Amino acid sequence: MLEKGLKSTVKGLESLGIAHAAEVNWNLSPAELVEEALANGEGTLTETGALMCDTGKFTGRSPKDKFIVKDSKTENTVWWGDINIPFEPAKFDALYAKMIKHLEGKKLYVRDAYAGADERYQLHLRVVNTQAWHNLFCNNMFIRPTEEQIKKFNPTFTIINAPEFLADPAIDGTRQSNFAIINFSKNIILIGGTGYAGEMKKGIFSVLNYTLPHEHKVLSMHCSANVGEKGDTAIFFGLSGTGKTTLSADPHRGLIGDDEHGWTENGVFNFEGGCYAKVIDLTREKEPQIFDAIRFGAIVENTRYIPGTRSVDYANGSVTENTRTAYPINFISNAIEPSVAGTPKNIFFLTADAFGVLPPISKLNAGQAMFHFISGYTAKVAGTEVGITEPQTTFSACFGAAFLPLHPTQYAEMLGKKMKENQVNVWLVNTGWTGGPYGVGSRMKLSYTRAMITAALNGDLDKVGFSQNAVFGVSMPNSCPNVPAEILHPRNTWSDKAAYDAKAADLAAKFVKNFEKYADFANEEILAGAPKVNVNA
């Protein structure tokens, strides 16, 4: 096997059974990987030097094709169901052997990296890719070891990712040709049939969401995090598209991370070494830090150029609305490294309420905080289909159920305990609609959301009066610097008050219905945090 690049002296690919690759490229630099990607025809260079690639048929994760091997280790610990779909150990072994055979004669790219900025809980990760740009993605998204660390690198977890490898469901036990399978006993993730790079990142997130709470009593969280000059940490939970990445990039605060964090007895730490930001409709004016990070070394996915130029047309969603960029965290000037900070003082639950009924910012008591964390609400705007105008509610426990191998209440219990121990302020922020639902009202201005978060963080909201929302019970500030007071109470922004009341009651009922499955977990305090369904009756 021809081998190039910087290789660990501790362990090679033989330990994985790979002995006949055509060429193994070890830990190439970003410049080398960009050259490889261009030579392989994997992408093109944008005018700012970023590498632009298409992910192929899959432009997002495929949750129905994500499996966990069910064996003696996971059988009684994983919360099996639609999210954590079991996979037979023997089928895994057979598929592994088939994939290794597939890699024979291929040019491979290997990356050694860490997941987890807190050394005590770090995964030592080895990724084997068949595409150079995927390997660059791993360089950008995971934590980069030094040359010295690479020489002594001893991997504890492996990802094998071959997008061109298609499974045969009848033989291999998958649902269709693409798959992402986690094996916690063998410390391996197998990915095939999909070119969506986010499967690697979210695969490792799922791993840490199992091992950290289960083996180390560390809370893992789907949230972004930043820290103020006085060392005050803030974390932002929220489902996809609610603003974790956007709102954590704040020029006045140090960026810890944009998506995945752990909370130990000392504070928070990032799992990753990079950011994966949405770029649909990105402008320099609204999001200068993210815009400027898209330069040499960064990747942009599934975007299109302004015809005749190499200028990315961020408004173009023709491939997918989920266009993305992946860049190392140090591409954001105020990112702090290592990505660790103290215990959070403020927690934000971000939700994009497309019904326009939740207040743009409100303060939650302990029961409400637990209720909303377990509910994990956001709304998806209507699709492009003609005639469908009603937004859809999404409830995803802990604002990230798709990535949680354990039962949601395990994470919720840990968070509840930490909130009580540390006197944290908890805020619910609606980054979605105001003035009416999707189609009638408009999306909350980003500048207003930023101003409200700033006011919460710097204590301005401690000095203002609050009103209780009649349906949701949450406390809404009556004023906020740099935000028009009339938008703070959502009912005031609707011209049709009866329509607001009806929509709010409707959403409240959906919250309560969704919560029924957590009845065993709910105590009186949490139940008191639920919205009031019959408030208008």
Residues that bind ligand ATP (CB under 6 A): 238, 240-247, 259, 277-278, 280, 431, 443-444, 446, 449
26 versus 349: smaller Cβ distance to ligand ATP? 349
Asked whether residue 394 is marked as a ligand-binding residue, the answer is: no
- Which CB atom, from 188 or from 200, has the smaller least distance to ligand ATP? 200
**Residue 159 forms beta bridges with which residues?**
127, 189
Q: Of the residues 46, 211, 240, 493, which is catalytic?
A: 240
Residue 244 appears among annotated catalytic residues: yes
242 binds, among Mn ion, ligand ATP, none (CB under 5 to 8 A by kind): ligand ATP
Q: Is 61 labelled as part of a ligand binding site? A: yes
C-alpha count within 13 angstroms, C-beta hemisphere, residue 175:
13
> Is 393 known to sit in a ligand binding site?
no
Shortest reach from residue 145's CB to Mn ion, in Å: 24
In the structure encoding, which two tokens stand for residue 281, read together?
Answer: 């409709």
- Give the distance between the most distant pair of CA atoms in the chain: 75
CA distances for 284 relative to 11, 140, 343, angstroms = 44, 21, 32
Site string for Mn ion, 231-270 (x = CB under 5 A): -------------xx-------------x-----------
Among this protein's residues, is 495 annotated catalytic? no
Cα dihedral sign for 172, 175, 181, 184?
Answer: negative
- CA distance linking residue 84 with residue 316, whole number of Å: 34
Catalytic annotation present for 74: no
247 interacts with, out of ligand ATP, Mn ion, none, CB within 5 to 8 A per kind = ligand ATP
Does 259 show up as a binding residue in the annotation? yes
State the amino acid at position 311 in one-letter form: S
In angstroms, the CA 113 to CA 98 distance is 25
8 is catalytic: no
**Is 244 annotated to bind ligand?**
yes
Look up 222 and say whether it is catalytic: yes
If the CB atoms of residues 240 and 454 are measured against Mn ion, the closer one turns out to be: 240
Between 263 and 314, whose beta carbon lies closer to ligand ATP? 314
> Is residue 144 flagged as an active site residue?
no
Edge-to-edge order in the sheet of strand 85-87: 2-5, 23-26, 107-115, 123-129, 157-162, 188-192, 179-183, 66-69, 85-87
444 binds, among Mn ion, ligand ATP, none (CB under 5 to 8 A by kind): ligand ATP
Q: Which of 222, 261, 372, 503 is catalytic?
A: 222
199 binds, among ligand ATP, Mn ion, none (CB under 5 to 8 A by kind): none
- With tokens 């019904």, the residue in question is 355
Applying CB under 5 A, what is the total number of residues that bind Mn ion?
3
Beta bridge partners of 328: 274
Q: Interior CA angle at 60 toward 57 and 63, to 5°?
A: 105
Q: Which residues of 152-183 are buried (b: 16+ CB within 10 A; e: fewer)?
A: ebebebbbbbbbebbbeeeebbbeebbbbbbb
**Minimum CB distance to Mn ion smaller for 226 or for 475:** 226
- Residues paired with 394 in a beta bridge: 378
Between 172 and 259, whose beta carbon lies closer to ligand ATP?
259
Q: Is 241 annotated as a binding residue?
A: yes
Bind-site residues? 61, 196, 202, 222, 238-246, 259, 287, 324, 449
Q: Which residues are identified as catalytic?
A: 61, 202, 222, 240, 244-245, 259, 324
Contact footprint for Mn ion (CB under 5 A)? 244-245, 259
